[in-house]
Protein backbone atom coordinates (compact mmCIF):
# COMPACT_ATOMS: atom_id res chain seq x y z
CA UNK A 1 0.00 0.00 0.00
CA UNK A 2 1.20 3.50 -0.84
CA UNK A 3 1.32 6.12 1.91
CA UNK A 4 0.45 9.67 0.87
CA UNK A 5 0.22 12.92 2.81
CA UNK A 6 -2.31 15.72 2.60
CA UNK A 7 -1.32 19.30 1.96
CA UNK A 8 -2.45 21.73 4.68
CA UNK A 9 -4.56 23.58 2.10
CA UNK A 10 -7.59 23.41 4.40
CA UNK A 11 -5.78 24.31 7.63
CA UNK A 12 -6.61 27.98 8.28
CA UNK A 13 -3.65 30.35 8.27
CA UNK A 14 -1.44 28.26 6.00
CA UNK A 15 0.93 30.49 4.02
CA UNK A 16 2.17 29.96 0.50
CA UNK A 17 5.65 29.36 1.85
CA UNK A 18 4.42 26.68 4.24
CA UNK A 19 2.47 24.94 1.50
CA UNK A 20 5.36 24.79 -0.97
CA UNK A 21 7.89 23.81 1.71
CA UNK A 22 5.47 21.04 2.74
CA UNK A 23 5.30 19.78 -0.85
CA UNK A 24 9.07 19.75 -1.24
CA UNK A 25 9.58 17.89 2.04
CA UNK A 26 6.89 15.34 1.16
CA UNK A 27 8.63 14.50 -2.10
CA UNK A 28 12.03 14.28 -0.39
CA UNK A 29 10.69 11.91 2.28
CA UNK A 30 9.12 9.50 -0.20
CA UNK A 31 5.38 10.01 0.17
CA UNK A 32 3.47 8.73 -2.86
CA UNK A 33 1.14 11.70 -3.32
CA UNK A 34 -0.02 15.06 -2.00
CA UNK A 35 -3.76 15.27 -1.28
CA UNK A 36 -6.15 18.22 -0.97
CA UNK A 37 -9.53 18.78 0.64
CA UNK A 38 -12.30 20.98 -0.78
CA UNK A 39 -14.64 23.49 0.85
CA UNK A 40 -16.13 26.79 -0.26
CA UNK A 41 -17.18 28.45 3.02
CA UNK A 42 -13.96 27.95 4.94
CA UNK A 43 -10.52 29.52 5.23
CA UNK A 44 -8.94 27.08 2.78
CA UNK A 45 -7.09 27.22 -0.53
CA UNK A 46 -8.90 25.97 -3.63
CA UNK A 47 -7.55 22.46 -4.34
CA UNK A 48 -6.47 22.84 -7.97
CA UNK A 49 -4.71 26.12 -7.15
CA UNK A 50 -2.94 24.52 -4.18
CA UNK A 51 -1.85 21.54 -6.27
CA UNK A 52 -0.57 23.85 -9.02
CA UNK A 53 1.66 25.54 -6.43
CA UNK A 54 2.86 22.15 -5.20
CA UNK A 55 3.50 20.95 -8.75
CA UNK A 56 5.75 23.95 -9.42
CA UNK A 57 8.21 22.94 -6.68
CA UNK A 58 8.16 19.15 -7.15
CA UNK A 59 8.95 16.69 -9.92
CA UNK A 60 7.76 13.20 -9.02
CA UNK A 61 5.16 13.12 -6.26
CA UNK A 62 1.53 12.49 -7.21
CA UNK A 63 -1.17 15.16 -6.89
CA UNK A 64 -4.64 14.13 -5.69
CA UNK A 65 -7.91 15.94 -5.05
CA UNK A 66 -9.47 13.91 -2.24
CA UNK A 67 -12.03 15.06 -3.19
CA UNK A 68 -13.02 18.04 -5.35
CA UNK A 69 -16.75 18.82 -5.02
CA UNK A 70 -17.96 18.34 -8.58
CA UNK A 71 -21.49 19.80 -8.30
CA UNK A 72 -19.95 23.09 -7.15
CA UNK A 73 -17.98 23.19 -10.42
CA UNK A 74 -21.05 23.26 -12.61
CA UNK A 75 -19.16 23.74 -15.86
CA UNK A 76 -17.73 20.38 -16.87
CA UNK A 77 -15.90 21.83 -19.87
CA UNK A 78 -14.03 24.38 -17.76
CA UNK A 79 -13.18 21.76 -15.14
CA UNK A 80 -11.91 19.51 -17.93
CA UNK A 81 -9.62 22.26 -19.23
CA UNK A 82 -8.36 23.14 -15.74
CA UNK A 83 -7.50 19.54 -14.94
CA UNK A 84 -5.93 18.86 -18.32
CA UNK A 85 -3.81 21.97 -17.79
CA UNK A 86 -2.67 20.86 -14.34
CA UNK A 87 -1.96 17.35 -15.56
CA UNK A 88 0.13 18.71 -18.45
CA UNK A 89 2.04 21.22 -16.32
CA UNK A 90 2.82 18.60 -13.67
CA UNK A 91 3.99 15.98 -16.15
CA UNK A 92 0.94 13.72 -15.79
CA UNK A 93 0.87 13.53 -11.99
CA UNK A 94 -2.78 14.45 -11.31
CA UNK A 95 -5.39 12.08 -9.93
CA UNK A 96 -8.74 13.83 -9.96
CA UNK A 97 -10.99 12.66 -7.14
CA UNK A 98 -14.55 13.95 -7.37
CA UNK A 99 -17.37 13.82 -4.82
CA UNK A 100 -20.63 15.46 -3.80
CA UNK A 101 -19.97 17.23 -0.50
CA UNK A 102 -22.43 17.61 2.36
CA UNK A 103 -22.29 21.26 3.39
CA UNK A 104 -25.46 23.29 2.78
CA UNK A 105 -23.54 26.57 3.16
CA UNK A 106 -21.09 25.56 0.43
CA UNK A 107 -23.99 25.00 -1.95
CA UNK A 108 -25.70 28.23 -0.91
CA UNK A 109 -22.51 30.24 -1.51
CA UNK A 110 -22.29 28.94 -5.07
CA UNK A 111 -26.03 29.30 -5.67
CA UNK A 112 -26.35 25.55 -6.28
CA UNK A 113 -29.23 23.28 -5.26
CA UNK A 114 -28.07 20.64 -2.81
CA UNK A 115 -31.21 18.62 -3.54
CA UNK A 116 -30.15 17.99 -7.16
CA UNK A 117 -26.45 17.43 -6.52
CA UNK A 118 -26.56 13.82 -7.74
CA UNK A 119 -28.00 14.88 -11.10
CA UNK A 120 -25.49 17.72 -11.37
CA UNK A 121 -22.66 15.33 -10.53
CA UNK A 122 -23.70 13.10 -13.43
CA UNK A 123 -23.85 16.07 -15.79
CA UNK A 124 -20.38 17.28 -14.78
CA UNK A 125 -18.91 13.80 -15.17
CA UNK A 126 -20.52 13.33 -18.58
CA UNK A 127 -19.25 16.65 -19.92
CA UNK A 128 -15.85 16.25 -18.28
CA UNK A 129 -15.18 12.91 -19.92
CA UNK A 130 -16.53 14.15 -23.26
CA UNK A 131 -14.06 17.03 -23.30
CA UNK A 132 -11.20 14.80 -22.22
CA UNK A 133 -11.93 12.61 -25.27
CA UNK A 134 -11.86 15.66 -27.59
CA UNK A 135 -8.62 17.54 -28.31
CA UNK A 136 -10.35 20.84 -29.14
CA UNK A 137 -10.38 22.10 -25.51
CA UNK A 138 -7.26 22.29 -23.40
CA UNK A 139 -3.74 21.00 -24.02
CA UNK A 140 -3.46 17.83 -26.09
CA UNK A 141 -2.37 15.51 -23.27
CA UNK A 142 -3.68 12.40 -21.59
CA UNK A 143 -6.38 13.19 -19.00
CA UNK A 144 -5.70 12.69 -15.30
CA UNK A 145 -6.67 9.51 -13.50
CA UNK A 146 -10.29 9.82 -12.33
CA UNK A 147 -11.56 8.41 -9.04
CA UNK A 148 -15.01 8.88 -7.52
CA UNK A 149 -15.74 9.37 -3.84
CA UNK A 150 -18.84 8.61 -1.82
CA UNK A 151 -20.34 5.98 0.45
CA UNK A 152 -23.64 5.12 -1.27
CA UNK A 153 -24.54 2.78 -4.11
CA UNK A 154 -24.90 5.66 -6.59
CA UNK A 155 -21.27 6.62 -5.89
CA UNK A 156 -20.10 3.06 -6.47
CA UNK A 157 -21.96 2.96 -9.79
CA UNK A 158 -20.45 6.30 -10.83
CA UNK A 159 -16.99 4.98 -10.02
CA UNK A 160 -17.63 1.99 -12.26
CA UNK A 161 -19.15 4.10 -15.04
CA UNK A 162 -16.79 7.06 -15.13
CA UNK A 163 -13.76 6.32 -12.99
CA UNK A 164 -10.67 5.50 -15.01
CA UNK A 165 -8.94 4.36 -11.82
CA UNK A 166 -11.47 3.58 -9.10
CA UNK A 167 -12.91 4.90 -5.85
CA UNK A 168 -11.93 6.82 -2.71
CA UNK A 169 -13.53 6.43 0.69
CA UNK A 170 -13.86 9.62 2.73
CA UNK A 171 -12.93 9.13 6.35
CA UNK A 172 -14.43 5.67 6.86
CA UNK A 173 -12.65 3.37 9.34
CA UNK A 174 -10.83 0.34 7.88
CA UNK A 175 -13.67 -2.17 8.37
CA UNK A 176 -16.25 0.11 6.74
CA UNK A 177 -13.76 0.90 3.98
CA UNK A 178 -13.28 -2.81 3.24
CA UNK A 179 -17.05 -3.39 3.06
CA UNK A 180 -17.56 -0.43 0.73
CA UNK A 181 -14.63 -1.42 -1.49
CA UNK A 182 -16.23 -4.83 -1.92
CA UNK A 183 -19.38 -3.15 -3.21
CA UNK A 184 -17.33 -0.95 -5.53
CA UNK A 185 -15.70 -4.07 -6.97
CA UNK A 186 -19.14 -5.63 -7.52
CA UNK A 187 -20.31 -2.50 -9.37
CA UNK A 188 -17.07 -2.50 -11.38
CA UNK A 189 -17.61 -6.09 -12.50
CA UNK A 190 -21.31 -5.50 -13.22
CA UNK A 191 -20.34 -2.62 -15.51
CA UNK A 192 -18.08 -4.96 -17.49
CA UNK A 193 -14.88 -3.22 -16.44
CA UNK A 194 -11.61 -5.12 -16.73
CA UNK A 195 -9.40 -5.72 -13.71
CA UNK A 196 -10.20 -4.24 -10.32
CA UNK A 197 -10.68 -0.62 -9.20
CA UNK A 198 -8.08 1.19 -7.17
CA UNK A 199 -9.25 1.83 -3.60
CA UNK A 200 -8.02 4.95 -1.80
CA UNK A 201 -8.74 6.12 1.74
CA UNK A 202 -7.99 9.05 4.02
CA UNK A 203 -7.38 9.64 7.72
CA UNK A 204 -6.08 12.45 9.93
CA UNK A 205 -2.89 12.82 11.92
CA UNK A 206 -1.48 15.29 14.45
CA UNK A 207 2.03 14.75 15.79
CA UNK A 208 4.59 16.77 17.69
CA UNK A 209 4.35 18.88 20.83
CA UNK A 210 0.57 19.46 20.97
CA UNK A 211 -1.22 16.81 18.91
CA UNK A 212 -4.41 16.94 20.99
CA UNK A 213 -4.63 20.70 20.70
CA UNK A 214 -3.89 20.75 16.97
CA UNK A 215 -6.51 18.08 16.26
CA UNK A 216 -9.16 19.78 18.38
CA UNK A 217 -8.54 23.28 17.03
CA UNK A 218 -8.69 22.22 13.41
CA UNK A 219 -11.07 19.28 13.19
CA UNK A 220 -13.69 20.55 15.65
CA UNK A 221 -13.84 23.72 13.55
CA UNK A 222 -13.78 21.98 10.16
CA UNK A 223 -16.51 19.52 11.16
CA UNK A 224 -18.55 21.83 13.41
CA UNK A 225 -21.48 21.56 10.98
CA UNK A 226 -21.89 17.90 12.00
CA UNK A 227 -22.46 18.81 15.64
CA UNK A 228 -20.18 18.96 18.66
CA UNK A 229 -20.27 15.22 19.42
CA UNK A 230 -19.42 14.06 15.89
CA UNK A 231 -16.75 16.73 15.42
CA UNK A 232 -15.22 15.67 18.73
CA UNK A 233 -15.23 12.03 17.66
CA UNK A 234 -13.40 12.88 14.42
CA UNK A 235 -10.82 14.96 16.32
CA UNK A 236 -10.37 12.09 18.75
CA UNK A 237 -9.76 9.62 15.93
CA UNK A 238 -6.75 11.48 14.48
CA UNK A 239 -3.49 9.55 14.84
CA UNK A 240 -1.51 11.37 17.52
CA UNK A 241 1.53 9.13 17.95
CA UNK A 242 3.75 6.88 15.86
CA UNK A 243 2.11 3.71 17.13
CA UNK A 244 -1.33 4.85 15.99
CA UNK A 245 0.03 5.96 12.60
CA UNK A 246 1.50 2.48 12.08
CA UNK A 247 -1.74 0.92 13.26
CA UNK A 248 -3.77 2.89 10.73
CA UNK A 249 -1.38 1.99 7.93
CA UNK A 250 -1.53 -1.70 8.80
CA UNK A 251 -5.32 -1.71 9.21
CA UNK A 252 -6.02 0.02 5.90
CA UNK A 253 -3.53 -2.19 4.09
CA UNK A 254 -5.32 -5.21 5.55
CA UNK A 255 -8.64 -3.76 4.36
CA UNK A 256 -7.41 -3.77 0.75
CA UNK A 257 -6.52 -0.09 0.44
CA UNK A 258 -4.11 0.76 -2.37
CA UNK A 259 -3.19 4.26 -1.18
CA UNK A 260 -3.84 5.92 2.18
CA UNK A 261 -3.70 9.72 2.41
CA UNK A 262 -2.97 11.05 5.90
CA UNK A 263 -4.19 14.63 6.27
CA UNK A 264 -2.62 17.07 8.74
CA UNK A 265 -4.18 19.12 11.52
CA UNK A 266 -1.30 21.61 11.56
CA UNK A 267 0.38 23.64 8.83
CA UNK A 268 3.87 23.33 10.34
CA UNK A 269 6.08 21.68 7.69
CA UNK A 270 7.85 19.80 10.49
CA UNK A 271 4.77 17.58 10.50
CA UNK A 272 5.99 16.04 7.21
CA UNK A 273 9.16 14.64 8.80
CA UNK A 274 7.27 13.51 11.89
CA UNK A 275 4.80 11.55 9.80
CA UNK A 276 7.52 10.12 7.54
CA UNK A 277 9.41 8.88 10.60
CA UNK A 278 6.26 7.42 12.15
CA UNK A 279 5.35 5.67 8.90
CA UNK A 280 8.86 4.27 8.44
CA UNK A 281 9.60 6.15 5.22
pLDDT at 170: 86
- The dihedral through the CA atoms of 96, 171, 151, 181 has a sign that is positive
Burial of 225 (0-12, 13-18, 19+ CB in 10 A): middle
**Could you report the per-residue pLDDT of 60-93, keeping only the tens digit for each?**
999 999 999 999 997 899 999 999 999 999 999 9
Contact between 197 and 166 (Cβ < 8 Å):
yes
- The reply to whether CATH 3.20.20.30 applies to domain 2-279 is yes
**What residue segments make up the domains of the chain, in order of their start?**
2-279
Q: What is the pLDDT of residues 19-75, one digit of tens each?
A: 999 999 999 999 999 999 999 999 999 999 999 999 999 999 999 999 999 999 978
CA distances from 274 to 34, 199, 244 (A): 16, 25, 13
pLDDT (tens digit, 9 = 90+) per residue, 177-235? 999 999 999 999 999 999 999 999 999 999 999 999 999 999 999 999 999 999 999 99
Q: Given this model, what pLDDT does residue 21 score?
A: 98
Write down the pLDDT at residue 141.
Answer: 95
Q: Is the pLDDT of residue 260 over 90?
A: yes
Of the chain, the percentage scoring pLDDT greater than 90 comes to 98
**Taking a C-beta distance cutoff of 8 angstroms, is the pair 75, 130 a contact?**
no
Average model confidence (pLDDT) across the chain: 97
Using one digit for the tens of pLDDT, what is the confidence trace for 149-189? Answer: 999 999 999 999 999 999 999 889 999 999 999 999 999 99
- Predicted local distance difference test score (pLDDT) of residue 171: 84
Non-local (6+) Cβ contacts of 88 within 8 A are 139, 141
Question: Residues 266-275: pLDDT tens digits?
Answer: 999 999 999 9
Amino acid sequence: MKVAIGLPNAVPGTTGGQLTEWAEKAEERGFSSLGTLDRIVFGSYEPLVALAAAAAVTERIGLVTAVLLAPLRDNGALLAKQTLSLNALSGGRLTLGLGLGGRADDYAAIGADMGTRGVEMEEVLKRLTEVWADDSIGPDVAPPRLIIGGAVQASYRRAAKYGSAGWIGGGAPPDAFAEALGQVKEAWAAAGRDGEPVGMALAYFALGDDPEGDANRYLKDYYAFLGEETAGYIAGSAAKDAETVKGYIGAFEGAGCDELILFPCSNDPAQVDLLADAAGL
